[in-house]
Amino acid sequence: MRTLTDISPASVKARADQQGRNKGDGPLAREISDVTRQGAAGASRAHESAVKHVTGRAAYIDDLQAPADTLHVALGLSPVAHGRLTRLDLEKVKAAPGVVDVITIVDVPGHTDIGPVFPGDPIFADDEISYVGQCLFAVAADSHQAARRAVTLAEVEIDAQPASLDPVAAAAREEFVRPTHVQQSGDWQAALDGAAHVIESEQFVGGQEHFYLEGQACLVQPSEDEGVIVHTSNQHPSETQKLVAEVLDIPFHAVTVEMRRMGGGFGGKETQASPWACIAAIIARRTGRTTRVRLPRAEDMRATGKRHPFHNRYKLGFDAQGVLQGGDITVIGDCGYSPDLSEAIVDRAMFHADNAYSLGSARVTGHRARTHTASNTAFRGFGGPQGMMIIEAALDDIARRLGEDPLTIRKRNLYRAAEEQGIKRDVTHYGQPVEQLGLLRDLIAQLEQSSDYWTRREAVAAHNTGSSIIKKGLALTPVKFGISFTAKHLNQAGALLHVYTDGSVMINHGGTEMGQGLHTKVCQVVARELGLDLEQVRITATRTDKVPNTSPTAASSGADLNGQAARDASLKLKERLFDFAAEHFGTDRGGLDREGMRLEGGELIAGSGEAERRIAWGELVQAAYLSRISLSEKGFYSTPLIHYDRETAKGRPFYYYAFGAAVAEVSVDTLSGEYQVDRVDILHDVGDSLNPAIDIGQVEGGFIQGMGWLTSEELKWNDAGRLVSDGPATYKIPTFGDLPPVFNVALMQGHPNSQASIYRSKAVGEPPFMLGMSVWSALRDALSSLVDYRHCPRLDTPATPERVLMAAEALRQGADTRETQHAPA
């Protein structure tokens, strides 16, 4: 039933025990492991920290040992969404037991604006209050509890003003955090005018809390001179280094940021891990003491931004076959109070308003609405999922209008190598040609077959005819997701490779490990290039003093960029060793054959047949060292081909696309709104996988997280702008029982990346997230059966049992719910 990666029955440990050991020659000889190709890229190796995870030995920020006099910081957060801070009396806070230091904006030595890309994020509120949860002050005390209790003693007076909480109204008033951007291809108005059919609708797509299990945390030690060492749970150490330096008004080289592992990130620690590090750094410098910040869950949820809620509108024309002719799409991203990353996030929603389909002649407009909530931020998919929801909704609508199966309509609209009425159907609305069209078609065809879609479609219809309360739904939705940072300069990476004289290898790179297996994959790349066993390659914490000026680990790019940088370093070192070996290990008959020299199985191999010479890795390394050959190398990579011109709104923002598709079957109790996901089949494209087990893990985890986003995970704010779903008691991420009882997940085989990515693999972090749309579409399918599939109800997200029940009630009462559901306040 399940298509799973082959997993070797022998444990890592057993394999290690089986390995013989061989000894290098030479004066520095020590035992080194024999080598196999077990660890090389392409194999399903366990996460590099797996044993540490299961034994509790993997250290996260709050687990790090610190001096006994370490300070603990708690934050004073605004209880009001919008207003003027008129009084902030902290005398009682300062006098509270255990309190050592209390700081506000006046205590910041350097920059007070820590906006990551654009200004707009004050480290502490000055006089203007912009959201509930905004940081007003920080307290450092000798215990976590003492600091938290002291915070409650603050006397805060705020002249409250009406809060803007409706992004649609904000957009109407042109209250934006960044300018509106428009993409256009062809004459969209003419396409609408000339179309046989037109649909027009809107949707609300809810946000999402990251709910990384490890909350925001950092530990800052004062270092020599004016500097600090920052340990932080963080996807973007270099940016934190910059912001800490600017806040302290010291040079960047005085700040070192170290990041070993995160207990989950998902985008929530790309920009929003920095404020706490900045605050802790100020206190550490003021007091000379190591300083910790750890946000309690409810404060973490209130103070930090989330996935952007979106309001989408679409008016699309199509022909009698349901083929899109063109139309007009508007997305409004609810950005919260400041720009943060919203420019790029709304861009990505626009770039994905087509998902896998040719829109025809289309205009896509993206607004960035400013509201009085936390500044919404990166979250797996980065706006892409919210954009795709438009076209997936529309294609369901079109199918009902024409009385066709939604899958039929979807397939007709896929990108295709055709030109219809002057429209290139293989080029996106922003001008990028879509490659690997055959892959997309094959993938859907294979999944259609393996999931038995059409037989099950009949079974679903038969079931629904005979069942008045429980209705089944079925849907196949594809994903096409663009891979690259749309901020071009971020598409670069560095790596640092050291070989030590015992033959052990250390690789360091700019990417961060948040559970996605990046470090495992990078070690595999190095092991493959150097012909070593994975155990001989170790990775160390990401540090800004090892690899500088790095990009965030985001946009699914971690392995693509850092894997290439690590490979670059490995190749350079390898070439140097080959040059050395060719000369050094020469015989009376001449040097080694430099041509065809290779590192394999822990040996350097030169020549072939009788002329073959093998030199053990340990011996090679020691000889090189004694001959004063550098055993260290740095690597660098920048992604080729990509460009995007915001003026013309055209270009090739993505190096390539990753594809996938999912089929979901659901059962809906139309009396209660409860539903269950009965079966899910997924086929996903990762090119040639670097590590099938890790990739499967990303696909499954991404799918479940995407399903949670569209079903049970509901963010609710009260009328005063306070987040009321501020903990796991009220904010429900999927749990064990939400795993579909039948869950067939497979990686697409036989389609290496058409671009020269690392070993022709593809990025996998974000694309599978959007496979969760199949569940939402299946819910609509089930509801649609209540009206004999004559139309598809509007179903805003998350599609909680409440929303599903209210949609069912409206359908039963005969209302055309396409116009009746309203977005929640």
When the beta carbons of 317 and 473 are compared against another protein, the nearer one is: 473
Report the nearest approach of another protein to the CB of residue 60 (Å).
6
Q: Which of 40, 41, 43, 46 binds another protein (CB under 8 A)?
A: 46
Give the torsion sign (CA, 366, 367, 371, 377). Answer: positive
Indicate the residue among 210 and 546 with the shorter CB distance to another protein: 210
- 148 touches another protein by CB under 8 A: yes
Written as one string, the DSSP assignment of 452-499 is THHHHHHHHHHHHHH-SSEEEEEEEEEEEEEES-SSGGG-EEEEEEEE
Q: Which is nearer to another protein, 151 or 362 (CB)?
A: 151
Compute φ and ψ for 242, nearest 5 degrees: -60, -50
Only one of the segments 113-121, 164-172, 322-330, 736-744 lies at the binding site for another protein (rule: CB under 8 A); that segment is 736-744
182 binds another protein (CB under 8 A): no
Ramachandran region, residue 230 (left: φ > 0; alpha: ψ -120 to 50; beta: rest): beta
Residues 654-693 binding another protein (CB under 8 A) are 667, 669, 671-676, 693
Residue among 30 and 52 whose Cβ is closer to another protein? 52
- Any idea what DSSP says for residue 619? H
Cβ neighbors of 143 (< 8 A, separation 6 or more) are 72, 98
* Token duo for residue 316: 């699309």
CB of 667 to another protein, least distance (A): 6
Among 33, 38, 49, 508, indicate the residue that binds another protein (CB under 8 A): 49
With CB under 8 A as the contact rule, the residue among 67, 422, 590, 737 that binds another protein is: 737
- Euclidean distance between CA atoms 234 and 239, whole angstroms: 10
d(CA 96, CA 92): 6
| Span near another protein by CB under 8 A; candidates 41-49, 523-531, 558-566, 632-640 | 41-49
Minimal CA–CA distance to 781: which of 773, 766, 792, 771? 792
Residue 700 interacts with another protein (CB under 8 A)?
yes
Interface residue with another protein among 245, 704, 775, 783 (CB under 8 A) is 704
Q: Binders of another protein among 513-552, rule CB under 8 A?
A: 514-517
Side-chain-side CA neighbours of residue 518 (13 Å): 35
Strands 217-222 and 155-160: what pairing? unpaired
Q: Is 198 strand, coil or helix?
A: strand
Least separation in angstroms between residue 737's CB and another protein is 4
| 91: phi then psi, degrees, rounded to nearest 5 | -60, -45
Contact with another protein (CB under 8 A): which of 408, 727, 815, 823?
727
Q: Give the one residue of 83, 384, 558, 697 binding another protein; rule: CB under 8 A.
A: 697
DSSP secondary structure, 349-379, as one string: HHHTTTTTB---EEEEEEEEE--SS------
> Rule CB under 8 A: which of 792-811 touch another protein?
800-802, 805-806, 809
Which 9-38 residues touch another protein, going by CB under 8 A? Answer: 11-13
553: DSSP letter: S
By CB under 8 A, residue 556 contacts another protein:
no
Instruction: Give the nearer residue to another protein in terms of CB position, either 58 or 629.
Output: 58
Provide the token pair at 93: 């806070």
Residue 712 contacts another protein per CB under 8 A: yes
CB of 685 to another protein, least distance (A): 18
CB of 301 to another protein, least distance (A): 10
Smallest separation (angstroms) from another protein to the CB of 565: 23
- Nearest to another protein of 455, 736 (CB atom): 736
Q: In a 10 Å sphere around its CB, with 0-12 CB exposed, 13-18 middle and 19+ buried, how is residue 628 labelled?
A: exposed
Is 647 among the catalytic positions? no
From 95, 172, 190, 213, residue interacting with another protein (rule: CB under 8 A): 213
Nearer to another protein, 551 or 705 (CB): 705
Piece of the chain touching another protein by CB under 8 A; list 148-156, 238-246, 541-549, 601-609: 148-156
The site string for another protein over 256-285 (x = CB under 8 A, - otherwise) reads: -----xxxxxx-------------------
Q: Closest CB to another protein among 633 and 726?
A: 726
Q: Answer yes or no whether residue 48 interacts with another protein by CB under 8 A.
A: no
Using DSSP, state whether 399 is helix, strand or coil: helix
| Least separation in angstroms between CB 567 and another protein | 24
Q: Please, are residues 744 and 682 in contact by the beta-carbon 8 Å criterion? A: yes
**H-helix segments, 531-673:** 558-584, 617-626
Q: How many residues does the chain have?
A: 825
Beta bridge partner(s), residue 234: none
Q: Of 48, 766, 802, 809, which residue is the catalytic one?
A: 766
Of 732, 597, 217, 185, the closest CA to residue 422 belongs to 185
Q: Between residue 422 and residue 481, which ones bind another protein under the rule CB under 8 A? A: 467-470
Q: Which is nearer to another protein, 333 or 765 (CB)?
A: 765
d(CA 41, CA 36): 12
- How far, CA to CA in Å, does 446 sit from each of 107, 661, 663, 693, 749? 62, 10, 12, 21, 11
Choosing from 406, 734, 767, 793, the residue that interacts with another protein (CB under 8 A) is 734
- Which H or E element spans position 664? strand 656-669
Query: Can you read off the two tokens belonging to residue 53?
Result: 């995870």
Is residue 703 a contact point for another protein (CB under 8 A)? yes
Indicate whether 54 belongs to the interface with another protein (CB under 8 A).
yes
Q: Which is nearer to another protein, 63 or 159 (CB)?
A: 63
Compute the CA torsion angle 347, 349, 351, 354 (nearest 10 deg).
-160
Catalytically annotated residues: 766
